[in-house]
């Protein structure tokens, strides 16, 4: 919809909608839905699954957070679980580790995806297809396999990391078993796993940038770097925003690699919020407390998400 | 959108199918909950088990043979086996309890510690006193039965016992001209001297590649703990009210263990949570001469073609000789049907019978928890298990405290830092004490 006629029509429709009373709007919406009932019927299976496995559990978690949950009967305890979360040093440690992990990995993952997509974009169709596949492969590879490979990479005696560092004269480190390196080792691993989804999305977004913009900039004497910085990066803002949000949510929920590689140790150096929630629920069977922890995580993620959206969206608008 | 009548019909059909699957899939097996208050109950029993010894490439052969035998002796009863790796068992049980979909019968890992306090708190375990006769109880070793007893009720039947001991690779001892400890006993000083001799540069590149000792530190695992007990230190007082791992006896022993890395007679990795890597270093790479393990490792070492090894005691300090024992067995989960409960109890008794305990002892490196099974001398042709059996005399169990798992985590996480050289034992235990005191004073 880019023609002036279409834009005018759209604006008119929006104005009409604002002028229509809500009851009538609702009626017409229902009528419209009824008209498209076959489409909604197709959506129904997914809707049922979503309700059963996402919506109800989420609502249930909110209810559980205010209870001392017992398999054969629960007791309403109000905000007691939330108070326990606030008083818990383990939760504060896990939150701090999660924040550190997120603040470092999210920008780097998005930046690496952008740089890779920029390098792949000018290539021919065949080469592009190859690199798309190559960079997407780790996305469909099980994290268990990736973690096993990285455990070997970080092995003190036989690992690739120490082997390479040995050539540079850097003394070997026991990467996963020292408090000062364990979390950084996990961060490096996360950053170095090719961001397949990001690359694919950036490539798709780059394809939709009109060539005429680059040609005009070229005529104006802009260098390649300037064209990338002044045209590509600003026009990719919506994609960047989406990927950042996605990456942020993923980072706040980091769990598998923690469980497989360090178990939260040494000490609590790599304990993250989700690994703590998991332990609270399935080791200690304190489902109410685990739900409260999960809700606090949800609220933190929401705040970060809104803040990020607001900042980036405003910049994009500017 | 112009959908054809066929696509509408397909959408309806797909939705109907999904609903049917959801409804039938989520419904309980009604056949298995027929209300019969007698021993004539018929239906399905779900049992979980982990991999045990291998028979014709099958690590579940034993439990499958038990299923067959039980189905033959109980017509109309079917036993469904769910295979669960040991490492996942506790988590899977936790998830199943959360979803109210627990098995009827499940094992406690053989290096475990009897009844699970969290399960008891949630009331998902069934007491089984009414199904075990007094004579039967007498046949079990008191400490094994005690592990499954809480508040005077019996919540499980012990299938076997385990103990932690030091596994010595005698090939490395021979190579370094080191005499193994006489009768498998050594003092701390003798032990350190031997470890020094066993630590060496094998390939002559100027770097040490074989170390005397290694072990790991991980929640719920106690291979390194008998070292901490050697001078008389214990984690909590006998009345389970006071944290005592901050005592001089305990922190002194921690320092001794941590110092092994600085001598160095232990690799830098000692104290990490890498169970597999630690085992591989001993059994496959053979670059560690001595490692402490629970007795399951004896059978694993024998299977890994480690013909020349022996089992020794932990070194003794100023305290009495000591090691840590464990009990494994079977627990029944909540049942509504008395008839079914009795049938499950029958299966528990079959799995822990004298005959089966002898079979398990011979093949799975565990000590019988029944006197009648021990009397049959199942280790007559297994010298390493005979050596390990001597250690049972000095074995102590882990404290039976309701919040033990949390206290354990508080200690183990700090112990990792001690062995890493990141914290002094005193500071580490001061930190652990905060959590422990809070839980012990509940």
The pLDDT tens digits of the residues spanning B222-259 come to 999 999 999 999 999 999 999 999 999 999 999 999 99
- Using the Cβ of B19 and the Cβ atoms of chain A, whether some distance falls under 8 Å is answered with yes
C-alpha count within 13 angstroms, C-beta hemisphere, residue B136: 17
Q: Which residues of B touch A265 (CB under 8 A)?
A: 272-273, 413, 416
The answer to whether the Cβ–Cβ distance between B15 and A155 falls below 8 Å is no
The pLDDT tens digits of the residues spanning A124-176 come to 889 988 998 888 888 888 888 999 899 999 988 889 999 999 898 888 889 99
Q: In 3D, which of A205, A192, A191 has the Cα closest to residue A241? A: A205
CA distance B219 to B222: 8
At residue A99, what are phi and psi to the nearest 5 degrees?
Answer: -65, -45
- The yes-or-no verdict on residue A123 having pLDDT over 60 is yes
- The yes-or-no verdict on residue B2 having pLDDT over 60 is no
The answer to whether the Cβ–Cβ distance between A48 and B14 falls below 8 Å is no
- Mean confidence (pLDDT) of chain B: 88
Q: In 3D, which of B215, B272, B277, B208 has the Cα closest to residue B421? A: B272
Does this model's pTM top 0.85?
Answer: no
Q: Which residues of A touch B405 (CB under 8 A)?
A: 283-284
Q: How confident is the model at residue B122 (pLDDT cuts 50, 70, 90)?
A: confident
The pLDDT tens digits of the residues spanning B79-111 come to 999 999 988 888 899 889 888 899 999 997 655
The answer to whether the Cβ–Cβ distance between A178 and B420 falls below 8 Å is yes
- Using the Cβ of B11 and the Cβ atoms of chain A, whether some distance falls under 8 Å is answered with yes
- Using the Cβ of B123 and the Cβ atoms of chain A, whether some distance falls under 8 Å is answered with yes
Cα dihedral across residues B297, B284, B179, B201: positive or negative:
negative
- Using the Cβ of B90 and the Cβ atoms of chain A, whether some distance falls under 8 Å is answered with yes
| SS3 state of residue A195 | coil
Instruction: Measure in Å the smallest separation between the Cα of A230 and chain B Cα atoms.
Output: 41
The pLDDT tens digits of the residues spanning B198-214 come to 999 999 988 899 999 99
Nearest to A266 among B15, B97, B416 (CB): B416
Instruction: Measure in Å the smallest separation between the Cα of B64 and chain A Cα atoms.
Output: 28
Mode of pairing for the β-strands spanning B105-108 and B323-332: antiparallel
DSSP state of B289: E
Secondary structure (DSSP) of A61-104: HHHHTTEE--TT--EE-TTHHHHHHHH-HHHHHHHHHHHHHHHH
> Locate tokens 């090691």: which residue?
B323
CA distance B346 to B354: 14
Interface of A with B (CB under 8 A): 36, 38-39, 41-42, 44-45, 48-49, 52, 70-72, 89, 155-157, 174, 176-179, 262-268, 281-285, 287
Cα A84 to the center of its chain, rounded Å = 28
- Using the Cβ of B8 and the Cβ atoms of chain A, whether some distance falls under 8 Å is answered with yes
Nearest to A267 among B124, B267, B416 (CB): B416
- Using the Cβ of B202 and the Cβ atoms of chain A, whether some distance falls under 8 Å is answered with no
The answer to whether the Cβ–Cβ distance between B269 and A174 falls below 8 Å is yes
Secondary structure (DSSP) of A209-260: S-HHHHHHHHHTT--HHHHIIIIIHHHTHHHHHHHHHHHHHHHHT--HHHHH
Instruction: Measure in Å the smallest separation between the Cα of B416 and chain A Cα atoms.
Output: 6
> Locate tokens 């178990």: which residue?
A263
The answer to whether the Cβ–Cβ distance between A157 and B267 falls below 8 Å is yes
Q: In 3D, which of A208, A239, A240, A211 has the Cα closest to residue A227? A: A211
Q: Which two tokens stand for residue A139?
A: 């996305």
The pLDDT tens digits of the residues spanning A213-269 come to 999 999 999 999 999 999 999 999 999 999 999 999 999 999 999 988 998 989 999
Q: What is the pLDDT of residue A29?
A: 87
DSSP state of B234: -
CA distance B213 to B166: 10
Which one of B6, B215, B277, B285 makes the best mutation probe of the A interface by having the most chain A beta carbons within 10 Å? B277
- Using the Cβ of B335 and the Cβ atoms of chain A, whether some distance falls under 8 Å is answered with no
- Using the Cβ of B3 and the Cβ atoms of chain A, whether some distance falls under 8 Å is answered with yes
- The yes-or-no verdict on residue A272 having pLDDT over 90 is yes
- Using the Cβ of B95 and the Cβ atoms of chain A, whether some distance falls under 8 Å is answered with yes
Cα dihedral across residues B55, B56, B58, B63: positive or negative:
negative
Q: Which residues of A touch B121 (CB under 8 A)?
A: 285
Q: Which two tokens stand for residue A126?
A: 């065949």
| Strand runs labelled E in B269-414 | 288-294, 309-312, 323-332, 395-396
Q: Which residues contact A152 (CB under 8 A, 6 or more apart)?
A: A158, A159, A160
Q: Which two tokens stand for residue B220?
A: 């719920």
Q: Which helix (H) or strand (E) holds B302?
A: helix B296-303
| pLDDT-wise least confident of A76-90, A298-312, B189-203, B402-416 | A298-312
Beta bridge partners of B150: B153
């Amino acid at each position: 919809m880019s023609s002036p006629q279409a834009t005018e029509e759209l604006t008119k429709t929006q104005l009409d909608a604002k002028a229509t009373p809500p009851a009538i709007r609702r009626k017409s919406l229902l009528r419209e839905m009824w008209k498209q009932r076959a489409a909604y019927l197709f959506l129904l299976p997914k809707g049922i699954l979503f309700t059963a496995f996402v919506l109800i559990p989420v609502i249930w978690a909110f209810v559980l957070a205010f209870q001392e949950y017992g398999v054969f009967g629960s007791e309403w305890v109000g905000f007691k679980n939330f108070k326990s979360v606030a008083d818990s040093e383990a939760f504060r440690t896990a939150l701090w580790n999660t924040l550190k992990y997120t603040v470092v990995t999210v920008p780097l993952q998005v930046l690496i995806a952008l740089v890779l997509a920029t390098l792949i974009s000018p290539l021919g169709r065949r080469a592009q297809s190859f690199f798309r596949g190559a960079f997407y492969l780790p996305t469909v590879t099980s994290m268990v396999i990736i973690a096993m490979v990285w455990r070997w990479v970080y092995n003190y005696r036989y690992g690739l990391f120490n082997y390479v560092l040995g050539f540079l004269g850097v003394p070997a480190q026991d990467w996963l078993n020292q408090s000062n390196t364990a979390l950084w080792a996990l961060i490096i691993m996360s950053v170095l796993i090719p961001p397949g989804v990001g690359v694919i999305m950036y490539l798709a977004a780059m394809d939709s940038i009109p060539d005429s913009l680059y040609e005009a900039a070229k005529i104006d004497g802009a260098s390649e770097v300037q064209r990338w910085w002044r045209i590509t990066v600003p026009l990719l803002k919506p994609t960047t925003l989406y990927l950042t949000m996605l990456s942020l949510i993923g980072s706040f929920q980091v769990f598998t690699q923690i469980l497989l590689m360090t178990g939260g140790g040494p000490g609590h150096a790599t304990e993250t919020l989700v690994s703590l929630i998991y332990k609270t629920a399935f080791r200690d069977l304190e489902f109410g407390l685990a739900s409260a922890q999960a809700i606090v995580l949800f609220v933190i993620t929401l705040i970060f998400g809104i803040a990020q959206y607001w900042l980036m969206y405003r910049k994009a608008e500017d | 959108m112009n959908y054809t009548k066929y696509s509408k019909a397909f959408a309806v059909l797909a939705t109907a199918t999904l609903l049917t699957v959801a409804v039938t899939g989520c419904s309980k097996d009604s056949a298995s909950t027929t209300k019969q208050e007698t021993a004539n109950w018929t239906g399905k029993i779900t049992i979980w088990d982990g991999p045990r010894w291998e028979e014709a490439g099958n690590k579940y052969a034993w439990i499958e043979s038990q299923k067959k035998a039980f189905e033959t002796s109980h017509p109309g009863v079917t036993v469904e086996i769910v295979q669960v790796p040991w490492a996942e068992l506790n988590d899977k049980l936790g998830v199943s309890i959360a979803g109210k979909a627990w098995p009827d019968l499940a094992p406690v890992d053989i290096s475990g510690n009897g009844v699970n306090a969290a399960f008891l708190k949630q009331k998902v375990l069934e007491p089984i006193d009414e199904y075990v006769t007094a004579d039967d109880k007498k046949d079990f070793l008191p400490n094994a039965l005690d592990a499954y007893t809480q508040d005077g009720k019996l919540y499980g039947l012990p299938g076997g016992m385990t103990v932690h001991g030091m596994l010595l690779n005698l090939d490395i001892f021979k190579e370094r001209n080191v005499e193994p400890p006489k009768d498998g006993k050594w003092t701390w000083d003798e032990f350190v001297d031997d470890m020094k001799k066993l630590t060496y540069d094998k390939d002559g590149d100027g770097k040490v590649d074989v170390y005397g000792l290694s072990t790991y530190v991980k929640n719920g695992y106690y291979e390194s703990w008998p070292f901490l007990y050697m001078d008389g230190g214990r984690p909590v007082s006998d009345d389970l009210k006071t944290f005592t791992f901050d005592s001089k006896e305990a922190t002194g022993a921690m320092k001794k263990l941590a110092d092994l890395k600085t001598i160095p007679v232990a690799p830098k990795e000692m104290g990490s949570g890498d169970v597999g890597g630690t085992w591989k270093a001993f059994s496959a790479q053979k670059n560690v001469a001595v490692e402490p393990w629970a007795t399951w490792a004896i059978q694993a070492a024998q299977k890994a073609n480690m013909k020349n090894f022996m089992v020794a005691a932990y070194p003794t300090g100023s305290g009495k000789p000591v090691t840590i024992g464990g009990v494994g067995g079977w627990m029944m989960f909540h049942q509504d049907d008395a008839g079914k409960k009795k049938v499950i109890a029958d299966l528990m008794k079959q799995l822990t019978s004298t005959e089966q305990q002898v079979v398990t002892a011979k093949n799975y490196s565990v000590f019988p928890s029944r006197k009648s099974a021990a009397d049959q001398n199942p280790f007559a042709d297994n010298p390493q298990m005979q050596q390990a059996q001597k250690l049972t005399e000095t074995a102590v169990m882990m404290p039976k405290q309701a919040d033990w798992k949390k206290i354990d985590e508080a200690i183990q996480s700090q112990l990792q830092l001690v062995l890493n050289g990141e914290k002094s034992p005193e500071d580490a235990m001061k930190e652990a004490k905060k959590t422990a005191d809070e839980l012990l004073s509940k």
